[in-house]
Amino acid sequence: MSTAGPTSTSARPQGPGPRPGQGAQQASPTRPNPTQGRTGAPAGAAPGARNRRVKLTVSRVDPWSAMKMSFLISVALGIAGVVMVAVLWMILSGMGVFSEINRLVGTVLQDSENPFNLMDFLGFGRVLSLSIVIGVIDVILLTALSTLGAFLYNICSSLVGGLQLTLTDD
């Protein structure tokens, strides 16, 4: 004797069901939804329980996606670093810190033939170009290290099983 469909009599849905508020299957007031109990929690759950706990294992990290994400994040950090250096230089220059250092070093050295000028070493263009070079090196290193980290995680995960997470639904 064969049947045409599944013979499961459980009240749990097979597969992911609609989320509340999406309007995929709304329960009418005269006909209750068979997947929910009286409290609005899924059938089979304790009457007062509304939280779900799911245990997941991160068994593999895709190196290509890790490289793309780390590249974008390191570019953003590099741009933020260059902007931070430019703003800091302008604030220090506006406060007169560089001229005060020039005056202090001039009184210490007392060399009238070769006066000391701090702007020969810490000019805005030189400082900004150095911060751009450091930002480019940062992008290259962080991208390479993150990709290498994804490969190393995959190797270690195949040995010990991966990172286990517990997620709760509040």
Number of C-beta neighbours around residue 77 at 10 A: 14
pLDDT digits (tens, 9 = 90+) for 47-97: 556 788 899 999 999 999 999 999 999 999 999 999 999 999 999 999 999
Using only C-alpha atoms, the chain has a radius of gyration, in whole angstroms, of 32
Half-sphere exposure of 27 (CA within 13 A, CB side): 14
Tell me how crowded residue 144 is: count the other CB atoms within 10 A of its CB.
Answer: 14
> Mind listing the pLDDT tens digit for each residue in 99-150?
888 888 878 887 777 777 888 888 899 999 999 999 999 999 999 999 999 9
Is pTM beyond 0.85 here? Answer: no
Q: What is the dihedral of CA 139, 145, 146, 152, to 10 degrees?
A: 170
Task: Give residue limits of the domains in the chain.
Answer: 64-150
